[in-house]
Structure 1
Amino acid sequence: MGLGDKISNKAEELGGKIKESTGRATDNPNLEAEGQADQASAGVKQAGEHVKDAVKDVKDGFSK
């Protein structure tokens, strides 16, 4: 994945943290849960990017 995707996923994770904190501070469990879901989604996307990067590194190692 490209740098833009990585930045987007990190922004989604940070937005989720803000939502979660705001939900907790305002006693809004729905907002808190939405923030946690955003963070989880970003984490899954980031894990996928790490796998793709690792596969690319392995592929590059074989082509040298």
Structure 2
Amino acid sequence: MQTQVLSELNTTTRLALVLLLLDVMILMPHLLSGAFNPMSVNGASLALAYVIYKTQHRQDLAK
């Protein structure tokens, strides 16, 4: 049960990060060229979410 909730939360988080990035690209594209810009921060967060997803998926298969 807990794994399913975490998986749904992870999916929601990834979707929200992508939508926020698109929002910045449309409304404030000048922010994408600065240090610690939304692209690098969201990219790192999405990569971490992907690693967590893959790890959970492997644990589910092992059960």
- TM-score (normalizing by structure 2): 0.72
- Return 5+ residue gaps in structure 2 as ranges: none
Give structure 1 stretches of 5+ with no counterpart. 57-64
Q: State which structure, 1 or 2, has the greater radius of gyration over its C-alpha atoms.
A: 1
Higher relative contact order (CA closer than 8 Å, sequence separation 6+): 2
Percent identical residues: 18
Structure 1 stretches of 4+ moved >3 Å: none
Q: How many residue pairs were aligned?
A: 56
RMSD: 1.5
2:19 corresponds to which residue?
Answer: 18
Q: Specify which of 32, 39, 49 is matched with residue 42 of structure 1.
A: 49
User: AA paired with 1:17?
Assistant: V
Q: What's the TM-score, normalizing by structure 1?
A: 0.71
